[in-house]
Amino acid sequence: FNADQPAHKAFRALLSERTNSVVAWIGSGFSQEAGLPSWRELRECVTDALQEKIRSLSPDAAAEANAKCVAAKAEQCHWVAFDILKAALGGASYRDTVRDALRRAVTVAVPEMYATLWKLRLGGVLSLNLDRLASRAHSEVLAGRALHEFSGLQAGQHVHLLKSPTPFVVNLHGIAEDESSWVLTHSEMKALMNTPGYREFVRSTIASRTILFVGVCRLTRSLPRRFPN
């Protein structure tokens, strides 16, 4: 890493002079150190669960489910694949599989990278993860300090917090414990992106804060191709 590159120098100056509040946009790469799955690995966990279920089905039902499994494996878009897998696996099994894959997030040691971010005195975090490690890190590094935390589906109710000095954590894709907050499928993402309050919150954050992307791999696949103007 070249610490002398202009962009890095400018960012260091911004942090030291506090000329603008910094918000970190965190992807699954930040949580993998804790042994948590990437989005692709979570997809594989759900696919494995479907394959296990197929073994217990009648021949006709197994053939139908297997066709969906094959389609999900061939699908290049994670969003669409999760739609197929959720429908084929069934709501209860799908929920339990996702929760089980993320269960260790409750007790695992928080990766040092999360703590390092909060030491930068961030104004907030936009997390693409369901594990809540960002908020756990805040409570460890800044114990006793106030923090606003909410899901992407609730973002529209918290636009006013962008004017508050209290930092925030937005779990854009939900949290593991609350299935109703999950945004993993194409239909769920479409619904979220069509929510005016969510669009306003993200747009206002990008317009008013300096965004630091960390642990986000292949961003163009993690976000819709056309972000709202």
SS3 17: helix
C-alpha 172/C-alpha 215 separation (Å) is 15
- In the chain, pLDDT over 70 holds for what percent of residues? 91
pLDDT at 1: 59
226 compared with 106, residue with greater pLDDT: 106
Burial 171-209 (b: 16+ CB within 10 A, else e): bbbbbbeeeebbbbbbebbeebbeeeebbebbeebeeeb
The answer to pTM > 0.95 is no
Using the predicted structure, report yes or no on whether residue 87 has a pLDDT greater than 50: yes
Binned at pLDDT 50, 70 and 90, residue 225 comes out as very low
C-alpha 50/C-alpha 97 separation (Å) is 10
C-alpha 159/C-alpha 13 separation (Å) is 27
Using the predicted structure, report yes or no on whether residue 28 has a pLDDT greater than 90: no
pLDDT tens by residue, 125-166: 999 999 999 999 999 999 999 999 999 999 999 999 999 999
What are 23's two structure tokens?
């918000």
Average model confidence (pLDDT) across the chain:
90
Judged by average pLDDT, the poorest of 31-35, 63-67, 166-170 is 31-35
pLDDT at 59: 95
pLDDT at 10: 73
pLDDT at 222: 41
pLDDT at 69: 97
- In the chain, pLDDT over 90 holds for what percent of residues? 78
150 compared with 18, residue with greater pLDDT: 150
Average pLDDT over residues 19-43: 89
pLDDT tens by residue, 122-134: 999 999 999 999 9
